[in-house]
């Protein structure tokens, strides 16, 4: 049999996965004990255990079964797959507009994260959510990566600077040049206290905002630069990914020569 056929066998029946999970949770089990525990027919349990033993996933000793190390690994991989599919279904809108995240996006690190997406009736819902988060935060240090330079977010940044927060912002050079052309005048990099602006040569596929290294907002944009969805979370893996992503971009950036007045 091929690896695909092994996987298809396990995934082809919810009962088979339940049998493996029961063995994992109880440590050992007999056909009768598992049948009673799962309210499943003995014949169904027996067929599953017999096949698992043939595959090397379980070991039988005097009528008692236990998972082998291989079985534990297979169960772990299966549960990871199920969690991934559940996550994809829950955050479909966010993933649809999240561009390349270097293949490192911590899907399971978004546990308990709040997802906000734009709707037909409220196309600015995600934008409003991020602005409110920035306006209401008590964070003293805000680090951001953004594909766009928007006056809406500039207003929120002014409020943060006015209360003494420090902001580091990384944008793409094309976005910065466009913002400079739109602004009525420009300021020198040292003229705005607490604000450091950096640029990277290439376009940025998504936005990241880190509030005091404790809370992260990841924003996804459509092809026209419209903010479509935002994921807000505090999971340590999520924060670690965002921090690593920011630091990588920061290492590639250079300080802007001018700050556009938006």
**Per-residue model confidence (pLDDT) at position 101:** 56
**Per-residue model confidence (pLDDT) at position 179:** 84
Asked if the 3-85 domain carries CATH number 3.40.50.12280, the reply is no
Same fold, 3-85 and 91-260: no
Q: How far is 161 from 156, CA to CA, in rounded Å?
A: 9
| Backbone φ, ψ for residue 217 (5° rounding) | -120, 120
Asked whether the beta carbons of 101 and 205 are under 8 A apart, the reply is yes
Please state the domain extents for the chain: 3-85, 91-260
Model confidence band, residue 108 (pLDDT cutoffs 50, 70, 90): low
Q: How far is 48 from 45, CA to CA, in rounded Å?
A: 5
Q: State CA 21 to chain mean position distance.
A: 27
Asked if the 91-260 domain carries CATH number 3.30.870.10, the reply is yes
Per-residue pLDDT at 20 exceeds 90: yes
Model confidence band, residue 93 (pLDDT cutoffs 50, 70, 90): low
């Amino acid at each position: 049999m091929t690896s695909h056929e092994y996987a298809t066998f396990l995934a082809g029946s919810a009962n088979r996965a339940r049998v493996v999970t029961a063995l994992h949770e109880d440590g050992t089990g007999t056909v009768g004990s598992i049948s009673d525990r799962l309210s499943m027919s003995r014949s169904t349990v027996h067929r599953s255990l017999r096949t698992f033993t043939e595959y090397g996933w379980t070991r039988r000793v005097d009528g008692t079964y236990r998972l082998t190390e291989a079985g534990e690994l297979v169960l772990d991989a299966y549960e990871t797959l199920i969690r991934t599919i559940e996550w994809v279904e829950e955050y479909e809108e966010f993933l649809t507009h999240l561009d390349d995240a270097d293949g490192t996006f911590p899907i399971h690190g978004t546990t308990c994260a709040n997802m906000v997406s734009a709707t037909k009736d409220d196309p600015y819902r995600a934008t409003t959510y991020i602005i409110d988060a920035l306006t209401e935060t008590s964070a003293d240090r805000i680090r951001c990566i953004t594909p766009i330079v928007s006056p809406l977010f500039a207003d929120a940044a002014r409020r943060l600077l006015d209360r003494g927060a420090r902001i580091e912002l990384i944008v793409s050079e094309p976005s910065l040049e466009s913002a400079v052309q739109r602004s009525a005048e420009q300021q020198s990099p040292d003229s705005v206290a607490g604000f450091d602006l950096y640029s990277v040569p290439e376009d940025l596929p998504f936005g990241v905002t880190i509030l005091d290294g404790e809370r992260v907002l990841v924003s996804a944009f459509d092809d026209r630069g419209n903010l479509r969805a935002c994921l807000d979370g505090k999971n340590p893996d999520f924060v670690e990914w965002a921090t690593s992503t920011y630091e990588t971009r920061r290492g590639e950036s250079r300080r802007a020569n001018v700050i556009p007045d938006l």
